[in-house]
Amino acid sequence: MNMEKQWWKSSVVYQIYPRSFCDSNGDGIGDLEGIRSKLWYLKELGVDVIWLSPVYQSPNDDMGYDISDYRAIMKEFGTMEDYDRMLAEAHSMGIRVMMDLVVNHTSDEHAWFVESRRSRDNGFRDFYIWRDGRDGGAPNNWGSCFGGSAWKYDEASGQYYLHLFSEKQPDLNWENEKVREQVFDMMTWWCDKGIDGFRMDVISLISKVPELPDGPEGESGYGDFGPYCANGPRVHEYLQEMNRRVLSKYDLITVGECSGVTVEEAKKYASASGKELNMVFQFEHMDLDGGETCKWNHKKVPLTELKQVMSKWQRELAGKAWNSLYWSNHDQPRSVSRLGNDSPAYREASAKMLATCLHMMQGTPYIFQGEELGMTNYPFTSLEDFRDIESIHAYQEFTEKGIFTPEEMFDYISYKGRDNARTPMQWNDGHQAGFTEGTPWIAVNPNYREINAREQMGRPDSVFHYYQKLIALRKQYEIIVYGDYELLLPDSRELYVYLRTLGDQKLLVLCSFVEHETCCRLPEALQGKKGKLLTGNGCRLEAEEAKLAAYGCAAVLYE
């Protein structure tokens, strides 16, 4: 398939969660100086772009995703000078920096909201979504993502404001062109500073159906806002305007976080025509172990369904839009614990297998900090171990309503909770894993003595070196970036096998998702041919078949 070549298509992105990456001054909170001190590590790994989760001023109700000043740095993270130094140093090392852009909502402590709530006729009133109550209650039945109603009553003015997330995250009113103006100005300000892109937080939610109709009621008793907010009526218009006025003037990488996005919608957001964004984060593969009670359960993802979803996105976007590729981020549990096997015997093998499976696909791969070490979920023992508003609220809500027992719910938040991803980066086997000289804001995973960067950098067969190799291969072989994708053995419940094709080249990717040995017959056209093993682990190639150890994998090139 004919595809335009772009630098962001052959890039690998590394996500930093600043609070948990590296603390430079011993206060237990990661910071910008800490990030700067570890740029050499990212260079060594070979990534092209870093995505910084929010570093803006914030009261931290949702760990920085509630911004009170878009043009200031969060005090705990340092100063704007620290930011500029970090940016300049990253650039001097050839690493680009992508900022998180959180503009579906602000913090309730943002100056716009402080003004807006002053009175009904304040000039900023219309920056947010205010409505009168209905029958003595909220304007509609929507529930918020973090539990409870999506509406908060404001005594002073006698109206309710909308917050799809926490009540400290009021939704901006994108219908108001002054809001768009302000957001575009702020983006321009950052672009002029020399940043290289934006990851746009829940951008698919910015346009609401103006009537704000009740949503279908779920187990929690609240209505789902999804049908009236996700991919809403004017979202593409707004993004095209943003593109015209800001994005198109710079050379950026852009990715929209799009909950509720379908392939049809993604073809608009991330169209090859370049009118909106470069790519989106879709959630279909992440939702496979979800269900009626949102994500709260302890289900395993069925491999056949995972293959079907991933392959659908590969097939449908080919030549029309561009995929992002991810197994993990700051909102998801650790991928090796969820999709692989985090027992000591299989942890490294399954981490390498998952990496191979993802990085050999078409799209831009995203690595979440610590994934390149095979970091695992945290062994939670008490509710006090949690910091995340989502887990804490969900525990309360689901146990109070009697939907789950406290034991069940504790098991679910331990398995699926976002804090699994947010424990400190494990740098070495010293004090607090080398993350801080003080006491970290959230506990270090006790397995840091076995799992840490220093140990892995010194061991050639480590997960770290395996990721380094995958990143290097993407630079070396165009077929990895641009080749067509075809799923083989769709019904196998043990193996994920696919074939990439570019001109006369073929790349066969074999991945075992099971704990025992397996065997895979090679496609007929490749039998007896001499393939070149680009990378792999626990895979033996024979003339007609491949033998895979538990969680074995391989990528084989045929020319």
Q: Which residues contact 500 (CB under 8 A, 6 or more apart)?
A: 360, 362, 479, 480, 483, 484, 485, 486, 506, 507, 509
Contact yes or no for 105/68 (Cβ under 8 A): no
- Binder of residue 202, out of Ca ion, ligand GLC, none (CB less than 5 to 8 A by kind): ligand GLC
The closest alpha carbon to 108, from 118, 122, 120, belongs to: 118
Among 331, 371, 372, 397, binds ligand GLC (CB under 6 A): 331
- Mask of contacts with Ca ion, 56-95, x by CB under 5 A? ----------------------------------------
Q: What is the number of alpha carbons within 13 Å of residue 528 lying toward its C-beta?
A: 2
- The listed partner (ligand GLC, Ca ion, none) that binds 31, CB under 5 to 8 Å by sort, is Ca ion
Site residues for ligand GLC, 412-431, by CB under 6 A, read none
27 binds Ca ion (CB under 5 A): yes
Mask 158-177, x = binds ligand GLC (CB under 6 A)? -------x------------
Catalytic residue among 48, 82, 257, 371: 257
> Which entry of ligand GLC, Ca ion, none binds 165, CB below 5 to 8 A by partner kind?
ligand GLC
C-beta contacts of 76-84 below 8 A and 24+ residues apart: 76/19, 76/27, 76/29, 76/31, 77/18, 77/19, 77/29, 77/30, 77/31, 77/32, 78/31, 78/32, 78/33, 82/31, 82/32, 82/33, 82/36, 83/32, 83/55, 84/193
In the bound complex, what is the minimum distance in angstroms from residue 100's beta carbon to ligand GLC? 8
Q: Is residue 62 close enough to count as binding ligand GLC by CB under 6 A? A: yes
Regarding 108 and contact with ligand GLC (CB under 6 A), the answer is: no
Pick what 29 binds: Ca ion, ligand GLC, none; C-beta below 5 to 8 Å, kind-dependent. Answer: Ca ion
Among 47, 49, 179, 202, contact with ligand GLC (rule: CB under 6 A): 202
Q: Quick one: what does residue 102 bind among ligand GLC, Ca ion, none, with the CB cut-off 5 to 8 Å set by partner type?
A: ligand GLC
- The total of other beta-carbon atoms located within 10 Å of residue 482's CB is 20
Q: In terms of CB distance, is 32 or 164 closer to Ca ion?
A: 32
Residue closer to Ca ion by CB (options 23, 372) is 23
- Which amino acid is present at 47? V
CB atoms within 10 A of CB 128: 24
The residue from 31, 171, 201, 276 that contacts ligand GLC (CB under 6 A) is: 201
Lookup: tokens for 94: 């050839």
- With CB under 5 A as the contact rule, the residue among 23, 62, 100, 257 that binds Ca ion is 23
Cβ distance to ligand GLC smaller for residue 165 or 415: 165
Active-site residue, from 201, 224, 289, 371? 201
Choose among Ca ion, ligand GLC, none what residue 82 binds, the Cβ cut-off being 5 to 8 Å by kind.
none
Q: Which is nearer to Ca ion, 259 or 423 (CB)?
A: 423
Using the Cα atoms of residue 149, residue 288, residue 466 and residue 479 in order, give the sign of their dihedral: negative
**Whole-number Å distance between alpha carbons of 24 and 37:** 8
Strand partners, 154: 159
Could you tell me if 73 and 18 are in contact, meaning their C-beta atoms sit under 8 angstroms apart?
Answer: no
Find the Cα–Cα–Cα–Cα dihedral 1, 359, 20, 406, rounded to 10°.
100
Residue 513 as a binder of ligand GLC (CB under 6 A): the answer is no
Closer residue to ligand GLC (CB): 36 or 330: 330
Q: Which residues contact 135 (CB under 8 A, 6 or more apart)?
A: none
List 65, 112, 124, 435, residue binding ligand GLC (CB under 6 A): 65
Toward ligand GLC, which CB reaches closer, 65 or 128?
65
**Catalytic annotation present for 390:** no
Q: Are 189 and 174 in contact (CB under 8 A)?
A: no
Binding positions for Ca ion, 259-298, rule CB under 5 A: none
Least Cβ distance, residue 65 to ligand GLC (angstroms): 3
Instruction: Indicate whether 183 belongs to the interface with ligand GLC (CB under 6 A).
Output: no
As given in the structure block, the two tokens for residue 553 are 């994998």
Task: Answer for the pair 353, 515: CB distance below 8 angstroms, yes or no.
Answer: no
Confirm whether 384 is a catalytic residue: no
Closest approach of ligand GLC to the CB of residue 57, in Å: 15
Handedness of CA 438, 441, 447, 452 (dihedral sign): negative
DSSP conformational letter for 498: E
Q: What does the binding site for ligand GLC look like in residue numbers (CB under 6 A)?
A: 62, 65, 102, 165, 201-202, 257, 330-331
Q: What does the binding site for Ca ion look like in residue numbers (CB under 5 A)?
A: 23, 25, 27, 29, 31
Q: Which residues are catalytically annotated?
A: 201, 257
